[in-house]
């Protein structure tokens, strides 16, 4: 644990205070941009800033060096005020090669800081990026941006001259030069990175030495080189007091499952088949056998789903995680869980589709699949986390609801939440709501589909309980007795019963939080990973005195009971989504409101600015 | 709370049941004359011999005529979806290694839509007993050819004869590493019961192919083993430690192994020491047995392989769990949340 220390002030150069900054490290897949970004994030977190991050990497494992599609980047926004998103336009861009320069320059603000590694701008790399001539020779560049041409490779090599490392090993340290330099520009403390270097290379003192030296060399370069005339400070943000950690969505989902495992004292069977961007949940859970979590890498997603249904039948908690293509495969088995009324949780970390689509990019286009993507009417509860840290609470809540109502619960995360991180106030696990579990043991008057009056849940019975031997299955059954039934009226009753069970989960949903006036011109309604961008855009409009509010749905099926009434308090309803309009359809169908969508399906998070503009257009539109 | 031990081994002092205790109150809905009746009766009859409390027994099935089975057993049961029973059983065993789990499947359920899951449950050696009812046809969907139907088979979906070569369920099971493989036939009650008992007692995945008659869509598909004459000619009863001999007394034949190639010989033409002696514990020669079929070869019935040395999947996995809990204690979410890099805001 560490205190949030004020960054050591550098000597000499003037320091200007900013409230926030958006920076992006971009380079080749092999340039270590993800590590650089994560490390800078830690430095900013130590300095007490609020942060949001956006890692962005190619689907190819080892994309050919220097190519446009091999570019990997890490963006973050950090600030002394609340930070909702990784930011739209960049205040600073580090481009480690011509391909990164070409792909990302367009996102840099006019007047923004541009740091380029000149050594990489040689003929071969220029050709691979499709440049006829060196773009750095363009005199217009310096007019538009504050360009810093730095021979990062050469300076790295020089700093390591006397070390007994191979040339290639030395060159691999160059990302830390960039990190050192940017840390100087934004006066973030080097200490956490120095610690991380020591830990990471504990087995190889030469690497510790090399990376430390290069990091410091980058820092010193900023301090001494004439091209940098000033640097920036960003005060600590006002954040709720407490102990914080950095949290990604995937890890938070996994830990939420562990929290529920500990609370219920039940074993959890986690069955999954690897798929980007969900695999890390499997990897994380496999590390925590101490929680009696039994991870099962199944032969496919159907088997994964089957395994958790079997586990739930046995009286354990069943959880699976996948992405859109895998959820499609699970569909038939999810229907079985609906029919058998067993508590299972299905996590969908959405990615760009259809088919293989954009495996490493984010999207919100599986909402309809979660709602309706099964044969016949097979309703499931659907939840969606709003931020990386919220994934923890959503996973826990999903298990709580599944067990209480004996229903499958689908959690819709997405690629942005999965890999993005935020400073997260560590919760007190004892303050989480209880998850009472009762297994039926009395044989008297037992029937498999007897129902609890409040929740309509059927009894959960562990095989091994004497006197309660019974058979269930996917065939329609008579309510209460559970006997096979082809009776038309019984089927109609059971279809309604399964829907009503899900509807009853509405009892669990707290009143919707309205961000802004409780009535007015425009209400922005969002769900999932767009929370940050929507909130930031709404607050921007509010600061200009506009009667704009936003709400964010964490419960998508059932929808919050107070939602219909809230929607009617505004002249217009705007629903921004990374799909072609799915929640907006649900809202129009359910509440007969003339909601309009704002839709961009680019594999990228929505931007604050574009939502702000869409709000503006609605405000201007004639009533 | 579940404990990490295998299902109860037959105990001397186990519960005293009769067949009746395993009959459920549901009306059996198979066609009159279907071979499934004999199998059901044999299973109900062998259950008391296992000495396992019936509340600890679970039958899991897929979809098909055969998969209706669990409804008729007075145990815990789960009639699931087409082909996926092995996956569901695997999850159940991970949650509840203490239960005795049976999987009931068909030739279509287990080898067509569920072929992948069958492969993996066998390869992993999950402790379940799998009964595959092989009637060489899709019964429930009214008579299409199945993965075990013979080439040229005329069915509703193959009016000019099937173009596909059949798979041998036992060869498949042996080839993917099954630790127990046996074959039996619905018209031989005593043999069926013996095989069921042995399979149920095996620790690890036990796979039995039960040749079953579908008198409606594929009557007498196994006539080679029903017809008295032909049965005498072709049935080979496997017995551990005994030479592989078959055929009528007047024309007794045997198998010898020529390298890995089996050859049929007249018993009187070779010294007894030349005959292939059946070794259940040798899965490699079991694999050769799985491939034999009439008319070139006899049809083996009985235990082709029984290898108790193969580690059981859930035992290995749960031993890992117990080891880390023993060494480091149970998980503590509060500690986990504060592990790694943290910082304090005042
Ligand atoms: C996903 C799916 N596809 C198809 C079916 C239709 N179906 C039901 S049983 C069956 C074949 C069953 O054949 P087999 O496993 O040999 O069982 P049998 O009826 O012969 O015992 C088929 C194709 C289904 N129930 N589910
Ligand atoms: S169709 Fe065939 S397998 Fe199915 S119940 Fe009838 S006889 Fe038996
Ligand atoms: Mg069949």
CB A562 within 8 A of CB A511: yes
Rounded to whole angstroms, what are the CA distances from A7 to A79, A186, B233? 14, 10, 92
pLDDT of amino acid B66 = 97
Lowest mean pLDDT: which of A550-554, B197-201, B243-247, B259-263?
B259-263
Q: Which of A373, A370, A463 is nearest to B88 (CA)?
A: A463
pLDDT of amino acid B12 = 52
The per-residue pLDDT for range A418-468, each reduced to its tens digit, is 999 999 999 999 999 999 999 999 999 999 999 999 999 999 999 999 999
* Rounded distance from Cα B136 to ligand 3 centre (Å): 5
Instruction: Inspect the interface and report whether the beta carbons of A463 and B345 lie closer than 8 Å.
Output: no
Q: Which residues of A touch B109 (CB under 8 A)?
A: none
pLDDT of amino acid A3 = 34
Closest by Cβ to B331, choosing from A290, A311, A335? A290
The model's confidence at residue B1, banded by pLDDT at 50, 70 and 90, is: very low
Domain A245-431 of CATH type 3.90.105.10? no
Q: How far apart are CA B170 and CA A186, in angstroms?
A: 69
Mutate to test the interface with A, among B127, B333, B335 (most CBs of A within 10 A): B333
The per-residue pLDDT for range B18-32, each reduced to its tens digit, is 999 999 998 899 999
pLDDT of amino acid A64 = 86
pLDDT of amino acid A57 = 84
The per-residue pLDDT for range A83-112, each reduced to its tens digit, is 999 999 999 999 999 999 999 999 999 999
* Rounded distance from Cα B187 to ligand 1 centre (Å): 24
Q: Hunting for tokens 């705007």 — which residue is that? A: A574
pLDDT of amino acid A13 = 85
pLDDT of amino acid A62 = 76
**Would the pLDDT of B13 be above 70?**
no
Q: What percentage of chain A exceeds 70 in pLDDT?
A: 98
Q: Hey, what are A347's tokens?
A: 């996590």
The model's confidence at residue A1, banded by pLDDT at 50, 70 and 90, is: very low
Atom of ligand 2 nearest to the CA of B29: 5
Q: Is the peptide bond before A558 cis (omega within 30 degrees of 0)?
A: yes
pLDDT of amino acid B7 = 52
Rounded to whole angstroms, what are the CA distances from A58 to A39, A69, A99, A563? 20, 7, 13, 39
Instruction: Inspect the interface and report whether the beta carbons of A290 and B325 lie closer than 8 Å.
Output: yes
Q: Hey, what are B14's tokens?
A: 């186990």
The model's confidence at residue A59, banded by pLDDT at 50, 70 and 90, is: confident
Dihedral (CA of A453, A456, A459, A460) sign: negative
Decide: B82 in ligand 1 pocket, CB within 6 A.
yes
Q: How far apart are CA B289 and CA B277, in angstroms?
A: 12
Q: How far apart are CA A358 and CA A367, in angstroms?
A: 17
Decide: B135 in ligand 1 pocket, CB within 6 A.
yes
The per-residue pLDDT for range A191-224, each reduced to its tens digit, is 999 999 999 999 999 999 999 999 999 999 999 9
ipTM given for this complex: 0.96
Ligand nearest to the CA of A332: 1
The per-residue pLDDT for range A378-407, each reduced to its tens digit, is 999 999 999 999 999 999 999 999 999 999
Q: What are the residue boundaries of the structural domains of chain A, listed by start?
A: 3-234, 245-431, 520-620
Instruction: Inspect the interface and report whether the beta carbons of A4 and B120 lie closer than 8 Å.
Output: no
Region B60-71 average pLDDT: 98
Q: Please tell me the distance in Å from B314's CA to the nearest CA on chain A.
A: 10
Decide: B127 in ligand 1 pocket, CB within 6 A.
no
CB B132 within 8 A of CB B91: no
pLDDT of amino acid A61 = 76
Ligand nearest to the CA of A335: 1
Rounded to whole angstroms, what are the CA distances from A509 to A263, A503, A555, A557? 21, 11, 7, 11
Q: Is the peptide bond before A277 cis (omega within 30 degrees of 0)?
A: yes
pLDDT of amino acid A140 = 94
Rounded to whole angstroms, what are the CA distances from B299 to A94, B130, B184, B264? 73, 21, 10, 12
Mutate to test the interface with B, among A240, A255, A306 (most CBs of B within 10 A): A306
Task: Provide the CATH number for the domain formed by B19-221+311-328 in this structure.
Answer: 3.40.50.970
* Rounded distance from Cα A4 to ligand 2 centre (Å): 74
pLDDT of amino acid A623 = 64
pLDDT of amino acid A491 = 98
Q: Which residues of A touch B84 (CB under 8 A)?
A: 302-303, 306, 333
Q: Hey, what are A560's tokens?
A: 């919050």
Decide: B8 in ligand 2 pocket, CB within 6 A.
no
* Rounded distance from Cα A307 to ligand 1 centre (Å): 20
Q: Is the peptide bond before B295 cis (omega within 30 degrees of 0)?
A: yes
- C-alpha torsion A363→A367→A370→A375, nearest 10: -110
Q: What percentage of chain A exceeds 90 in pLDDT?
A: 94
Q: What are the residue boundaries of the structural domains of chain B, listed by start?
A: 19-221+311-328
* Rounded distance from Cα B313 to ligand 3 centre (Å): 29
**Would the pLDDT of A303 be above 90?**
yes
The per-residue pLDDT for range A456-485, each reduced to its tens digit, is 999 999 999 999 999 999 999 999 999 999
CATH class name, domain A3-234: alpha beta
Near ion ligand 3, which residues have CB within 5 Å?
Answer: B 106-107, 135
Q: How far apart are CA A549 and CA A525, in angstroms?
A: 9
Architecture of domain A520-620: 3-Layer(aba) Sandwich (3.40)
**Would the pLDDT of A2 be above 90?**
no
Closest by Cβ to B345, choosing from A4, A258, A306? A4
| Number of other residues whose CB lies within 10 A of the CB of residue A421 | 29
The model's confidence at residue A17, banded by pLDDT at 50, 70 and 90, is: very high
pLDDT of amino acid A248 = 96
Region B242-249 average pLDDT: 97
Decide: B109 in ligand 1 pocket, CB within 6 A.
yes
The model's confidence at residue A11, banded by pLDDT at 50, 70 and 90, is: low
Instruction: Inspect the interface and report whether the beta carbons of A303 and B26 lie closer than 8 Å.
Output: no
**Would the pLDDT of B2 be above 80?**
no
**Would the pLDDT of A10 be above 70?**
no
Q: Atom 24 (ligand 1): residue with closest C-alpha?
A: B82
pLDDT of amino acid A12 = 72
**Would the pLDDT of A8 be above 70?**
no
Size of interface A-B (CB pairs under 8 A): 227
Mean pLDDT of chain A: 95
The model's confidence at residue A4, banded by pLDDT at 50, 70 and 90, is: very low
Decide: B216 in ligand 2 pocket, CB within 6 A.
yes
* Rounded distance from Cα A481 to ligand 2 centre (Å): 27
> How many alpha carbons fall within 13 Å on the CB side of residue B120?
21
The per-residue pLDDT for range B131-167, each reduced to its tens digit, is 999 999 999 999 999 999 999 999 999 999 999 999 9
For B336, nearest residue in chain A (alpha carbons): A255
């Amino acid at each position: 644990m560490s205190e949030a220390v004020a960054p050591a002030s550098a000597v000499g150069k003037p320091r200007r205070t900013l409230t926030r900054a958006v920076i992006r490290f971009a380079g080749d897949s092999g340039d270590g941009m993800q590590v650089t970004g994560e490390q800078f994030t830690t430095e900013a977190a130590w300095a007490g800033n609020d942060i949001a991050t956006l890692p962005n990497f190619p689907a190819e494992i080892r994309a050919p060096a220097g190519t446009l599609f091999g570019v990997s980047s890490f963006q973050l926004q950090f600030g002394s005020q609340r930070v909702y998103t990784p930011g739209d336009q960049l205040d600073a861009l580090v481009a480690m090669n011509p391909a990164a320069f070409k792909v990302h320059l367009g996102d840099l603000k006019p007047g923004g800081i541009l740091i380029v590694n000149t050594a990489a701008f040689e003929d071969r790399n220029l050709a691979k990026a499709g440049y006829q001539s060196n773009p750095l020779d363009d005199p217009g560049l310096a007019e538009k941006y504050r360009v810093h041409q730095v021979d990062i490779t050469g300076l790295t090599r020089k700093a390591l001259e006397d070390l007994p490392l191979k040339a290639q090993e030395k060159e691999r340290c160059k990302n830390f030069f960039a990190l050192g330099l940017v840390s100087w520009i934004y006066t973030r403390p080097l200490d956490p990175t120095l610690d991380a270097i020591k830990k990471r290379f504990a087995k190889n003192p030469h690497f510790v030495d090399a990376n430390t030296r290069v990091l410091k060399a980058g820092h010193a370069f900023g301090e001494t080189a004439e091209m940098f005339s000033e640097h920036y400070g960003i005060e600590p943000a006002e954040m709720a007091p407490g102990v914080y950690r950095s949290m990604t969505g995937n890890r938070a989902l996994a830990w939420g499952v562990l929290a529920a495992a500990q609370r219920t004292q039940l074993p959890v069977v986690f069955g999954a088949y690897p798929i980007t961007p969900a695999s890390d949940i499997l990897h994380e859970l496999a590390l925590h056998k101490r929680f009696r979590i039994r991870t099962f890498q199944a032969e496919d997603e159907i088997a994964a789903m089957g395994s958790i249904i079997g586990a739930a039948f046995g009286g354990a908690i069943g959880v699976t995680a996948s992405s859109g293509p895998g959820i499609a495969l699970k569909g038939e088995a999810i229907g079985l869980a609906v029919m058998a009324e067993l508590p299972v949780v299905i996590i969908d970390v959405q990615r760009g589709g259809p088919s293989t689509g954009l495996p490493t990019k984010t999207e919100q286009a599986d909402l309809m699949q979660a709602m309706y993507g099964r044969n016949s009417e097979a309703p499931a509860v659907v939840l969606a986390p709003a931020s990386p840290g919220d994934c923890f609470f959503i996973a826990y809540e999903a298990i709580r609801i599944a067990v209480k109502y004996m229903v499958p619960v689908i959690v819709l995360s997405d690629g942005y939440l999965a890999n993005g991180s935020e400073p997260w106030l560590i919760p007190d696990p004892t303050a989480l709501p209880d998850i009472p579990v009762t297994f039926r043991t009395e044989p008297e008057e037992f029937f498999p589909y007897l129902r609890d009056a409040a929740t309509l849940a059927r009894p959960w019975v562990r095989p091994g309980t004497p006197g309660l031997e019974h058979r269930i299955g996917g065939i329609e059954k008579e309510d209460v007795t559970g006997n096979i039934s082809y009776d038309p009226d019984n089927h109609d009753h059971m279809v309604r019963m399964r829907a009503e069970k899900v509807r009853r989960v509405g009892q669990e949903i707290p009143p919707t939080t309205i961000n802004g006036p409780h009535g007015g011109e425009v209400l922005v309604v969002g769900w999932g990973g767009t929370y940050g961008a929507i909130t930031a855009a709404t607050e921007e409009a509010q600061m200009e005195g506009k009667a704009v509010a936003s709400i964010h749905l964490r419960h998508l099926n059932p929808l919050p009971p107070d939602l219909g009434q809230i929607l009617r308090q505004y002249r217009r309803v705007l629903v921004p989504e990374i799909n072609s309009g799915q929640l907006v359809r649900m809202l129009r169908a359910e509440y007969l409101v003339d909601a309009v969508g704002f839709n961009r399906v680019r594999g990228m998070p929505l931007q604050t600015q574009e939502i702000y503009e869409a709000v503006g257009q609605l405000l201007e539109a004639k009533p | 709370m579940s404990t990490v031990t295998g299902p109860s081994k037959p105990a001397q002092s186990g519960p005293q049941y009769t067949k009746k205790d395993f009959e459920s109150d549901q009306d059996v809905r198979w066609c009159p004359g279907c071979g499934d009746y004999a199998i059901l009766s044999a299973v109900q009859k062998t259950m008391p011999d296992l000495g396992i409390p019936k509340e600890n027994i679970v039958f899991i099935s897929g979809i098909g005529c055969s998969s209706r089975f669990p409804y008729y057993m007075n145990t815990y049961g789960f009639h699931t979806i087409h082909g996926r029973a092995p996956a569901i059983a695997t999850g159940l065993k991970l949650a509840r290694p203490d239960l005795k789990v049976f999987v009931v499947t068909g030739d279509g359920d287990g080898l067509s839509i569920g072929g992948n899951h069958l492969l993996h449950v066998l390869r992993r050696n999950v402790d379940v007993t799998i009964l595959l009812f092989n009637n060489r046809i899709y019964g429930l969907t009214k008579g299409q050819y199945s993965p075990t139907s013979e080439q040229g088979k005329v069915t509703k979906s193959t009016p000019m004869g099937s173009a596909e070569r059949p798979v041998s369920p036992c060869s498949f099971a042996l080839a993917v590493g099954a630790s127990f493989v046996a074959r039996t036939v619905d018209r031989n009650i005593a043999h069926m019961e013996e095989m069921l008992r042995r399979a149920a007692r095996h620790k690890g995945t036990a796979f039995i192919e039960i040749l079953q008659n579908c008198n409606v869509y594929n009557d007498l598909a196994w006539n080679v083993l029903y017809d008295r004459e032909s049965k005498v000619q072709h049935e080979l009863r496997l017995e551990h430690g005994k030479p592989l001999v078959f055929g009528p007394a007047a024309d007794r034949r045997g198998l010898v192994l020529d390298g890995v190639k089996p050859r049929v010989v007249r018993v009187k033409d070779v010294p007894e020491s030349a005959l292939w002696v059946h070794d259940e514990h040798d899965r490699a020669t079991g694999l050769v047995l799985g491939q034999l079929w009439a008319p070139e070869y006899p049809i083996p019935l009985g235990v082709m392989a029984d290898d108790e040395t193969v580690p059981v999947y859930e035992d290995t996995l749960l031993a890992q769990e117990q080891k880390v809990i023993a060494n480091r204690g149970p998980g503590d979410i509060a500690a986990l949340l504060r592990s790694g890099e943290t910082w304090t805001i005042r």
